[in-house]
Amino acid sequence: MSINFHKCICLIIVCFFANFVFAQERYFIKQSELIFESDAPLEIIKASSTDLRGVIDPNSNTFGFKVATLSFKGFNSELQRSHFNENYLETEKYPEITFSGKIIENIDFNKPGIYSVRAKGMLNIKGIPKERIIRCNVEVKVNSIELKSNFDVSLDDHDIRIPRVVYQKIAPIINVTLKAVLQIQNSK
Amino acid sequence: MFFFLFCYFSIVSLASIPYFKTIQIDQENSNVHVNVLFQDHEGFVWTGTDRGVYRYDGFLFNHIHIEANDSNENVTCLAEDINKSLLVGLSNGGIMKYEKGYFTSIKSPFSSPVKSLIQTADGVLWVATYGEGIFYLNKLGWHRIPGLPDPFIYNVVQHPTGVLLAGTDQGLVVIDPRDKQLHYKVYNTQDGLPDNLVREIYCDKNGEVWLGMQEQGICKFNLSSGEFTVPDNLKSWNFGSITCFSKLEDEFWIGTSDDGIIDFEFSEDKRVRTFSKSNGFGYSSINDILRSNDGNIWIATENKLLFTPGEKYEIFHGDKNIVFDSIHAIATDQTGYLWLCNNQGLFRYDYINSGSIRKFLTDPKYKNLHIVSIYEDASGYIWLGTFDNGLFRLEPNSGYVKRYSIGEGLINANIIAINGSGNKIWLATLGGISLCEIPDDLLEEAKGNYKFTNFPDIKGSGGSFVYCVYIDKKGRVWFGTDGKGISVYENGSFKSYSQFDNGKGKVVYSITEDPMGNIWFSTLNHGIYRFDGKKFKNFGLSSGLKNLNISGLSNDRAGNIIVVHQKGIDIIHPFTFEWEYIGKEVGIDELDCDLNAIALDFKNNIWIGTQHGLIRFSNNAITTNHQPETHIQKIYSFMRAGSGLNDSIFQYNQNQISFEYLGLWYSNPEAVSYRYRLIGLSDKWITSRDRIASYPNLPPGKYRFEVMSSFNNQFLHPKIDHFNFKILKPIYKQTWFVLIMTIIGSIGLILFIRDRELRFRRIELLKKEKIEYQFETLKSQVNPHFLFNSFNTLISIIEEDSSKAVNYVEKLSDYFRNMVQHRDKDTILLSDELEMVLNYYYLQQKRFGNNLSLEFIIPENWKRKYQLPPLSLQLLIENAVKHNSVSHESKLKISISATDNESLLIVNNLNPKFYPDKSTGIGLENLVSRFRILSDKEVRVRRTETEFIVEIPLI
What is the per-residue pLDDT across B822-832, written as a single tens digit (0 to 9) for each? Answer: 777 778 888 88
| Per-residue pLDDT at B778 | 62
Is a pLDDT exceeding 70 seen at residue A3? no
Amino acid, res. B793: T
The Cα B556–Cα B571 span in angstroms is 10
The Cα B517–Cα A50 span in angstroms is 82
Pick the residue with more confidence: B906 or B648? B906
Contacts of A151 in chain B (CB under 8 A): none
CB of B315 within 8 A of CB of B617? Answer: no
Chain A residue nearest residue B285, CA to CA = A157
The Cα A170–Cα A154 span in angstroms is 12
Interface confidence (ipTM) of the complex? 0.79
Q: What band does B77 get if pLDDT is binned at 50, 70 and 90?
A: very high
CB of B609 within 8 A of CB of B600? Answer: no
Q: What is the mean pLDDT of residues B728-757?
A: 90
Give me the total of CB pairs closer than 8 Å, taking one residue from chain A and one from chain B. Answer: 31
Inter-chain residue contact B91 with A104, CB threshold 8 Å: no
* Nearest CB to B197; choose among A3, A8, A133: A133
| DSSP label of B504 | T
Q: For B109-145, how does the pLDDT look when each residue is reduced to its tens digit (9 = 90+)?
A: 999 999 999 999 999 999 999 999 999 999 999 999 9
Q: What is the mean pLDDT of residues B609-637?
A: 77
B residues 576-635 closer than 8 Å to A (CB):
none
Is a pLDDT exceeding 60 seen at residue A2? no
* Nearest CB to A104; choose among B112, B130, B196: B196
CB of A40 within 8 A of CB of B151? Answer: no
| Per-residue pLDDT at B461 | 53
Q: For B394-421, how does the pLDDT look when each residue is reduced to its tens digit (9 = 90+)?
A: 999 888 899 998 888 888 889 999 999 8
| DSSP label of B832 | H
Residues of A with CB under 8 A from a CB of B: 1, 3-5, 8, 102, 104-105, 118, 120, 133, 135
Any chain A CB within 8 A of the CB of B923?
A: no
| Per-residue pLDDT at B10 | 29
Any chain A CB within 8 A of the CB of B215?
A: yes
Chain A residue nearest residue B198, CA to CA = A104
- Is the Cα torsion angle B387, B388, B390, B395 positive or negative in sign? negative
Chain A residue nearest residue B111, CA to CA = A4
Any chain A CB within 8 A of the CB of B196?
A: yes
Q: What band does A180 get if pLDDT is binned at 50, 70 and 90?
A: very high
Strand order in the sheet with B400-404: B371-376, B382-386, B391-395, B400-404
H/E stretch holding B809 reads helix B802-822
The Cα B46–Cα B42 span in angstroms is 11
The Cα B898–Cα B837 span in angstroms is 16
Computed over its alpha carbons, how large is the radius of gyration of chain A? 17
Pick the residue with more confidence: B17 or B96? B96
Is a pLDDT exceeding 90 seen at residue A137? yes
* Nearest CB to B91; choose among A1, A8, A135: A1
Q: Measured between CA atoms, how close is B38 to chain A, in angstroms?
A: 21
DSSP string, B206-221: T--EEEEESSS-EEEE
Contacts of A104 in chain B (CB under 8 A): 169-170, 196-197
For chain B, the average pLDDT equals 84
Q: What band does B678 get if pLDDT is binned at 50, 70 and 90?
A: very high
Q: How many Cα neighbours within 13 Å face the side chain of B102?
A: 5
| Per-residue pLDDT at B780 | 60
The Cα B762–Cα B760 span in angstroms is 5
Pick the residue with more confidence: B889 or A32? A32
- Report the residue of A4, A9, A11, A153 to disrupt the B interface, i.e. the one with the largest count of B CBs within 10 Å: A4
Q: For B11-27, how does the pLDDT look when each residue is reduced to its tens digit (9 = 90+)?
A: 333 456 777 888 888 77
Chain B residue nearest residue A119, CA to CA = B169
Any chain A CB within 8 A of the CB of B764?
A: no
**B42-51, B236-245, B288-297, B310-319: least confident range:** B310-319
Per-residue CA distances from B11 to B15, B229, B319 (Å): 13, 36, 11
CB of B198 within 8 A of CB of B172? Answer: yes
The residues, ordered by sequence, that sit 6+ positions from B214 with a Cβ below 8 Å of its Cβ are A118, A133, B195, B197, B199, B241, B242
| Per-residue pLDDT at B615 | 86
Inter-chain residue contact A4 with B169, CB threshold 8 Å: no
Inter-chain residue contact B111 with A4, CB threshold 8 Å: yes
| Per-residue pLDDT at B641 | 65
Residue B526: phi and psi, rounded to 5, are -125, 25
**B184-188, B314-318, B419-423, B829-833: least confident range:** B314-318
The Cα B357–Cα B380 span in angstroms is 19
Long-range contacts of B791-798 (CB under 8 A, 24+ apart): B792/B847, B793/B843, B793/B846, B793/B847, B797/B846
Q: Measured between CA atoms, how close is A5 to chain B, in angstroms?
A: 8
Inter-chain residue contact B131 with A5, CB threshold 8 Å: yes
| Per-residue pLDDT at B340 | 93
Q: What band does B3 get if pLDDT is binned at 50, 70 and 90?
A: very low
Is a pLDDT exceeding 90 seen at residue B920? no
| Per-residue pLDDT at B69 | 61
Phi/psi region, residue A39 (left: phi>0; alpha: psi -120 to 50; beta: rest), is beta
Q: Measured between CA atoms, how close is A3 to chain B, in angstroms?
A: 8
Contacts of A3 in chain B (CB under 8 A): 92, 111
**How far from chain centre, in Å, is Cα B177?**
39
| Per-residue pLDDT at B51 | 87
The Cα A26–Cα A21 span in angstroms is 13
The Cα B311–Cα B273 span in angstroms is 11
Any chain A CB within 8 A of the CB of B168?
A: no
| Per-residue pLDDT at B747 | 95
